[in-house]
A and B are shown apart, each in its own frame.
Chain A
Amino acid sequence: MSGYFKEIYDGGKSLLVGMGITFRYMVQPVVTLQYPHETVPMTPRFRGHIDLACDQAGNHKCIVCGTCQRNCPSGCISLKGEKPEGAKKKLLIAYQLDFTKCSLCGTCVESCPTDALIFSKNYNLAGLSGQEFILDLLKRQEERSK
């Protein structure tokens, strides 16, 4: 019989302890971020997929040296350049990033001699097919500079 009352006492005590913890959290500030309604700014060192950086005039700084392509451990960068008639420098005509193979190591950004690559702040990508994430960075850069 004594065990019966002891169980009731212990159960009641643990219930009060638990409710005490619940009450303590209830009066503390709210930690939940109401995501689609409110967002947090990404930190300067956040790594999204890479993007071509814009200079003041809105142009990219890529010189088509191919260092990023050679240094990528996953082989997800492919770029193509062309030398127009009479020009001295190569011109970038295509820059494709296969983001589905990227591991965001940042070797491309580090190795770029002209700092033409940056990490984007695109943090909430989702899509209905994997093909959506083979990105044309040149097109993205042109759209941004408009």
Chain B
Amino acid sequence: MVTANAHLPIVHFSSLDKLLNLGRANSLWPLTFGLACCAIEMMATGVARFDLDRFGMGVFRPAPKQSDVMIVAGTISKKMAPGIRTLYEQMPHPKWVIALGNCAIAGGPFVFAGQYGIVEGADKIMPVDIYIPGCPPRPEALVEGLLLLEEKLTGSRRWPRVNPE
């Protein structure tokens, strides 16, 4: 497990930070990048049916320097891991990571004794804030994860909670 936020900003402003976090929570720009089938669900969340723009999170940026949140959508192979780590380090602070799908949480169905190709979870190579299980998760689950990140930043939830069933 990697420790979260190894180099946080040195200067803090108590009330201004809260205001900044409110702004950040409502404009989380994700990094455009998908690794496997969960990325298809991520694209489905971005377009008209579920419309991430309603939460200010639909601005998928093509450069790590412009993005706030990294959605690790899919299986991380050992070959891909250094690239993902580089992208993570290129993102400016403050930054957050969402592990989307079972592969990004713990390696998913690819974990077995003696496997050599898969990183068993995104939290092995970088700190992860939100975990969304599913194979793949539905778009609602990704929306729920982003709302949970919003809740983590601001300390309160301004959207209703959904209880399935």
Q: Which residues of A contact B (CB under 8 A)?
A: 31-37, 39, 42, 48-49, 73-75, 98-104, 120-130, 132-133
Tell yes or no: B7 within 8 A of A by CB: no
Contacts of A103 in B (CB 8 A): 102, 108-109, 135
Tell yes or no: B22 within 8 A of A by CB: no
Contact sample, A vs B, 30 pairs, CB 8 Å cutoff? A31-B48, A32-B49, A33-B49, A33-B50, A34-B54, A35-B50, A35-B140, A36-B159, A36-B162, A39-B164, A49-B133, A75-B112, A99-B102, A100-B105, A100-B133, A101-B106, A101-B109, A102-B102, A102-B108, A123-B134, A124-B138, A124-B162, A125-B132, A126-B132, A126-B141, A126-B145, A126-B148, A127-B130, A127-B131, A130-B121
Interface size class of chain B, counting residues whose CB lies under 8 Å from the partner chain: 35 or more
Tell yes or no: B68 within 8 A of A by CB: no
Q: Are B123 and A31 in contact (CB-based, < 8 A)?
A: no
Tell yes or no: B65 within 8 A of A by CB: no
User: In the docked arrangement, what's the CA distance between A74 and B49, Å?
Assistant: 33
Besides A126-B145, A130-B123, 20 more A-B contacts (Cβ < 8 Å) are A34-B54, A36-B160, A42-B164, A49-B133, A74-B111, A102-B135, A121-B164, A122-B165, A123-B134, A123-B138, A123-B141, A126-B130, A126-B131, A126-B141, A126-B144, A127-B132, A128-B129, A128-B130, A128-B131, A130-B133
User: In the docked arrangement, what's the CA distance between A132 and B109, Å?
Assistant: 18
Q: Are B106 and A100 in contact (CB-based, < 8 A)?
A: yes
Main SS class of interface, A: loop
Q: Are B165 and A121 in contact (CB-based, < 8 A)?
A: yes
Task: Give B136's nearest chain A residue, CB to CB.
Answer: A104
Taking each of A48, A121, A124, which has the highest tally of chain B beta carbons within 10 Å of its own beta carbon? A124
User: In the docked arrangement, what's the CA distance between A138 and B99, Å?
Assistant: 27
Chain A nearest CB from B156 CB (Å) reads: 14
Which residues of B (20-61) have their CB < 8 Å from a CB of A? 48-51, 54
| Closest CB pairs A-B (n = 5) | A103-B109, A126-B145, A100-B106, A36-B159, A124-B144
Say whether, besides A31-B49, A133-B105, A101 and B111 are in contact (CB < 8 Å). Answer: yes
Contacts of A124 in B (CB 8 A): 138, 140-141, 143-144, 162, 164
